[in-house]
Amino acid sequence: MIGMDSYLNAYVDRRMQNIVDEWDLSTGRDLETFTARLAALEQEIPDLKASRVAHGDRLTALENRAKRLKGLM
């Protein structure tokens, strides 16, 4: 079994970058910057919520205008 283990270890060593890419695995570099990236995303949440409300209000106004225009035709 030692031959199979060394063969598999050598295969994994040669193909590690392909395995990481194919399986979308995290690397040490990804994990080092994780908290900073998470903090940046968390700061965007209030702005996204506010824009969602504003867009909803705008859509409601446009729908009401469309209903009034249909009533005029």
* pLDDT tens column, 13-70: 899 889 888 999 888 888 899 999 999 999 999 999 999 999 999 999 999 999 999 8
Check whether 7 has a pLDDT greater than 70.
yes
Name the nearest CA neighbour of 16 among 8, 5, 34: 8
Q: What is the DSSP string of 13-66?
A: HHHHHHHHHHHT---HHHHHTHHHHHHHHHHHHHHHHHHHHHHHHHHHHHHHHH
- The residues spanned by each domain of the chain are 1-32, 33-73
Identify the band that residue 1 occupies on the pLDDT scale cut at 50, 70 and 90: low
pTM value?
A: 0.46
Q: Please state, in angstroms and rounded to a whole number, the distance separating the CA atoms of residues 21 and 30.
A: 13
Check residue 65 and give its pLDDT: 93
